[in-house]
Structure 1
């Protein structure tokens, strides 16, 4: 039901984008339920809040929610057409998929490392890793939303100088 949102720019008839925009927006309902069930599961778990695995799970939920909210924005066909091939789409993609994949790999390593190797990693270093990673993720990808909203196109070799400072900030 959702695949046509990749093709809003090809010149579809008037009714098709409305139908598929609605379908894409409706995808937000089970995704929201999924996020709330993760939060409910975390509240009922007997894990300690200072456990680095819990920090990574909470960080993943926050980043995934930011990506989901930007996905709802992009589900409206008229906004998707305006933001097509801008950095807003890149930011959305990275918040949903790339950061989720990275968080999953880190959570898996943190969970299985003590079981396989036999000793735990330093909790304070892992918490520091989480803080540095979350700051780095958001410094890199959050400004891309604003760059995309201001029309910064992707796939070009040189950009307008008006985008220089925010583009440089997200490239640190």
Structure 2
């Protein structure tokens, strides 16, 4: 009888983790998030996720908790906890819609707006550091490939079309 653990050990030991696109994307995401958190904590006293949420609300892309949950791929209760923390810190508020009382929109306070305005510099600083040595063409090609991955996933992000996904010179 074959030992099932030896089969799984063999499969695991043969798998080239460093050659896995999924693993590499995950590591890059984690690295970017950690570096943004280091800077945003030091400069603004918030995590990368909190700063990102403030930025998404400020940009108008996500004005409802449900939109944040979809954008970040996290459950509604996790978004509620994040919004609760940001509200407790006085960075955003919940505003009930006049048209439909069931709808609760998110709005930034002046302090939250000021923090959101500082996030692009932090995002860009981290990415400039990580993309050091890349040519503008390489950065454009990387963005193009990442857009194509999102399109292939069925992602319907605002401004993300098959044309944008195949155009390496696109600025978005």
Q: Name the TM tier (shorter chain).
A: under 0.3
Which gives a bigger RCO, structure 1 or 2 (Cα 8 Å, sep 6+)? 1
The structure with more helix, counted as a fraction of residues: 1
Give the alignment's TM-score, normalised by structure 2: 0.26
Say which one has the larger Rg.
Answer: 2
The structure with more strand, counted as a fraction of residues: 2
